[in-house]
Structure 1
Amino acid sequence: MNADTPTRRWTTRLMASTLAGVVGLLALFMSPWSDSASAHGSIVDPASRSYGCWERWGSDHLNPDMAQEDPMCWQAFQANPNTMWNWMSLFRENLAGDWSAIPDGKLCSAGDAQGGLATSLDRPGAWTTTDVDNDFSVHLYDTARHGADFFEVYVTRQGFDPTTQALGWDDLELVAETGSYPPAQDITFDVSAPGRTGHHIVYTVWQASHLDQTYFICSDVNFT
């Protein structure tokens, strides 16, 4: 991990319970805005890779046009449809603030967080981007209202090419570190990443408050 990585804050908490396992293919029949306690959350703006695929193709996943119009979502869906349906479960547990468990090249899958099902999210390519300014907002949708101990937001350095390079920690610069947020479905905060143009990856680390549960989320953006 590079020198930009901050000293990790950690508060020891009593482990109250373990969450249910990841949502399976039955999620196809659920609304993404479900208030189910068994659900989790993700960054929906700028859209995470898996959420963006679900948002664009979840109701039209058999359309062969996906292969040409959205090739990175297509390859992810072909590798395993659960990568799309289970867009809210890119988390790891019991890391105690040590992000080294997420190796270079595996950041977007949270280090194979779904048992190897989401490794297609790590592949470089023409991922669909969200247009943003250098000053933009990050929006978490938290279906289970976990709250947050903190967020860390990183952005790739100018010159990194997400279409050809797998993401590593040294490719990232920390641009925002927040305080805590109480339980809520929607959490939005502002960040700034000056000096960037074109396609970049916004990498959000969300430390949920209910357990030692940490989410690692890639969002593709186009700085205009």
Structure 2
Amino acid sequence: MRKSSPSARRPRSAFRRLAEALALLIAVTASALLWTSPAQAHGTVVDPATRAYHCWEEWGDDHLNPAMEQEDPMCWQAWRANPNTMWNWMSMLQDGLGGQFEARIPNGKLCSNNHPNFESLNNPGPWKTTDVGDNFSIHLYDQASHGADFFRVYVSKQGFDPKTQSLGWGDLDFITETGSYPPANDITFPVQTSGYSGHHIVFTIWQASHLDQAYLMCSDVNFG
């Protein structure tokens, strides 16, 4: 049998070393992605459902159904304006507001948190509502367990019409501010109100604990 010379074996050995290096690089990259992926996830109020979360929950698996245009026209217009409104329901955040919510988020932009991907959420119209009583609970689902420095909850004033008006700071009644919450996937806290009836917006500010990240969210409710 003919033996290979050292010079003939060298390219094969170099190739093997290259393959091993590439395999290691792929493994390290995959591990890094697995490690960092939770940090890319965020959250939202799921009950009463925010506008973006409702659209994803109701139509995420059925977004090509033409019935959405007639059955849920506000989700339809949001989907047509930017599909990310539905797919990225957990990412409606602003960095570095420093608690200056009213100064930094303009009137008419509250429901989008002044975020361009969610601009359609500011549009007035027949948004689907969640039925609530005077006393109800807010449930936050947080994929990455950021925790909360606090939550602030407001309700649109009696007489404000979400079907015809975009929300501004002067349209809100302050209801409550909570204390801090430790990291968890699910945070639920009670809200007590009185004197409201019909379609209102529950406006929630979630100040996350891990960074200066603020989530400003609109949930449409019907006070029975």
TM superposition score normalised by structure 1: 0.82
Tell me the distance in 1 between the aligned counterparts of 2:187 and 2:223: 22
Percent of aligned positions with the same letter in both sequences? 65
Out of 101, 104, 108, the residue aligned to residue 107 of structure 2 is 104
Task: Report the residue type matching 2:48 in the other structure.
Answer: P
1:192 deviates by 1.4
Deviation per residue, 1:83-117 (Å, 9 max, x gap): 00000111111111101211000000001x2xx12
Aligned to 2:163: 163
Tell me the distance in 1 between the aligned counterparts of 2:108 and 2:56: 23
Aligned to 2:149: 149
Tell me the distance in 1 between the aligned counterparts of 2:127 and 2:192: 22
Tell me the distance in 1 between the aligned counterparts of 2:203 and 2:52: 13
Aligned to 1:204: 204
Segments of 4+ moved more than 4 angstroms? none
Tell me the distance in 1 between the aligned counterparts of 2:99 and 2:196: 28
Tell me the distance in 2 between the aligned counterparts of 1:134 and 1:220: 14
Give the alignment of 1:39-188 within 5 angstroms. Answer: 39-99=41-101, 100-111=103-114, 113=115, 116-188=116-188
1:36 deviates by 2.9
Tell me the distance in 1 between the aligned counterparts of 2:99 and 2:74: 31
Aligned to 1:217: 217
Structure (1 or 2) with the larger CA radius of gyration:
2
Tell me the distance in 2 between the aligned counterparts of 1:103 and 1:181: 28
Give RMSD over aligned pairs.
0.8
Secondary structure of the 1:202 match is: strand
Task: Report the residue type matching 1:56 in the other structure.
Answer: E
Tell me the distance in 1 between the aligned counterparts of 2:169 and 2:193: 17
Secondary structure of the 1:117 match is: helix
Task: Report the residue type matching 1:186 in the other structure.
Answer: D
In the alignment, structure 1 segments of 5+ residues that lack a partner are 1-34
Q: Larger helix proportion, structure 1 or 2?
A: 2
Deviation per residue, 1:144-167 (Å, 9 max, x gap): 000000000000011000000010
